[in-house]
Amino acid sequence: MDAKSLIEVENLSKVYGEGDAAVEALKGISMNIEQSDFVAIMGPSGSGKSTLMHLIGCLDQATSGHYGLAGRSVETLDDDELADIRSHEIGFVFQQFNLLPRTSSLENVMLPLTYLRGPSTDGRKHAAELLRSVGLEHRIKNWPNELSGGEQQRVAIARSLINDPSIILADEPTGALDSKAGDEVMAIFKRLNEEGRTIVIITHERYIAEYSSRIIYLKDGRIETDERH
């Protein structure tokens, strides 16, 4: 792996189904993503971008090819090791905010800690600090149904940061938001990247992709263009 590469993908393929029903979602993808990179992945529906995101996030495994993450060959890891990567090294943000409905913003942010080692005073303090960092110090006790869509997504971003991951993967993070809320969310991702985190987002919106420093465009399971700007 290149010394600066955090993510290294070589000839990665993913096939769903078998025989005549087989669908090749990714067809030999190769790319490197460096530490502190900010990458947007674009492409039409069915281009393979969500499949690629799932493979990078260790939510699924490739049919063939190599995926290296921080010097580790992901294809050689067992389920426990993959779960450990998902818990500690990668933060996830999705289009649907996936917040527990009758749970406060603070408790939603703390949720990954609760699953791993139980609640703690330090955990509550850290969660409160993260909510302040996304401009929601006044919403700590509110339930999701008391928040706007943009506020719910900012809670989800705070939750993705609770275990201090080096990588944030965001799948259509502004897809359910109006343009103002989307810009607010992207400004947070931009700041996180400037602080040193690696950000990879999927988006259909070119103006959202323009927040990144690099745009990878997929078509029919292959990389069509890969440009820095």
Q: How do the pLDDT tens digits run along the chain, 229 residues long?
A: 454 789 999 999 999 999 999 999 999 999 999 999 999 999 999 999 999 999 999 999 999 999 999 999 999 999 999 999 999 999 999 999 999 999 999 999 999 987 766 556 688 999 999 999 999 999 999 999 999 999 999 999 999 999 999 999 999 999 999 999 999 999 999 999 999 999 999 999 999 999 999 999 999 999 999 999 8
Angle at 125 between CA 123 and CA 129, to 5 degrees: 115
8 contacts 66 by C-beta, under 8 angstroms: yes
Check which CATH number belongs to the domain holding 104 and give it.
3.40.50.300
Tell me the β-bridge partners of 147.
none
Tell me if 16 is assigned to some domain.
Answer: no
Structure-token pair, residue 3: 């010394």
Tell me the β-bridge partners of 24.
15
Amino acid letter, 163: N
Q: Which residues, 6+ apart, have CB-to-CB distance to 195 below 8 Å?
A: none
Tell me if 64 is assigned to some domain.
Answer: no
Q: Give residue 159's domain range.
A: 37-55+88-228
Torsion on CA atoms 132, 166, 197, 65, rounded to nearest 10:
-140
Say what the pLDDT of residue 72 is: 94
* Cα–Cα distance measured from residue 161 to residue 146, given in angstroms and rounded to the nearest whole number: 22
Say what the pLDDT of residue 229 is: 84
Tell me if 1 is assigned to some domain.
Answer: no
Tell me if 15 is assigned to some domain.
Answer: no
Tell me if 152 is assigned to some domain.
Answer: yes
Tell me if 124 is assigned to some domain.
Answer: yes
Task: Give the count of domains, the chain.
Answer: 1
Tell me if 223 is assigned to some domain.
Answer: yes
Tell me if 224 is assigned to some domain.
Answer: yes
Residue identified by tokens 């669908």 is: 23
Say what the pLDDT of residue 1 is: 45
Structure-token pair, residue 199: 């950000």
144 contacts 150 by C-beta, under 8 angstroms: no
Say what the pLDDT of residue 120 is: 62
Structure-token pair, residue 103: 């749970």
